[in-house]
Amino acid sequence: MRPLRLFALFVGGMVVQWWWTTHFALAGVAPQVLLVLTVIIAAALGPVRGMFFGFGWGLFLDVMSAHLFGGNALALTVAAYGAGMVRRQLDVRDLAPQCMVVFFMTWAYFLLIGVLGAMFIKSFEWVGWPSFLADPFYNCLVAAVAYPFWGSYLETRG
């Protein structure tokens, strides 16, 4: 039953990301739901499982916008590794550390995508100031809603 639920989380995360960015983006700003879920999984289950989910979700994001194919997969994998390593120093089960990790991982994710763009397609892939400034807060709100449910579920079943 557990693999089926993890598969449902994997597919559900992709559906929610697509649905939210397509229908509920405010002035082009939408939360990075898959980044938040990757951090939640890495915080609850460790970096290896988080990297597995992050890589799969990153490939989904890369297929949705194929101008820098592989960039999102690498960035989400690195974010999962970072979140999984941070859980050894911080208790990321509480809301404040969880939001702090999501907040800084959002900026690191955006900057890594930009640097990868500069390296491989010769232009810095800039998300824009509205997304760069608003998405970390938006992602913290998503984490505050998602982590109490999914984080506690994953920790008890992990």
Is residue 133 scored above 60 in pLDDT? yes
Q: Which long-range contacts (CB under 8 A, 24 or more apart) does 29-33 make?
A: 29/130, 29/131, 29/134, 29/135, 29/138, 30/135, 30/138, 31/135, 31/138, 31/139, 31/141, 31/142, 32/106, 32/109, 32/135, 32/139, 33/142
**pLDDT averaged over every residue in the chain:** 88
Average pLDDT over residues 76-94: 88
Give the C-alpha separation, 58 to 78, whole Å.
11
pLDDT (0 to 100) of residue 1? 46
Average pLDDT over residues 62-70: 86
Share of the chain above pLDDT 90, in %: 56
What are the residue boundaries of the structural domains of the chain, listed by start?
2-157
Architecture of the domain spanning 2-157: Orthogonal Bundle (1.10)
pLDDT (0 to 100) of residue 14? 96
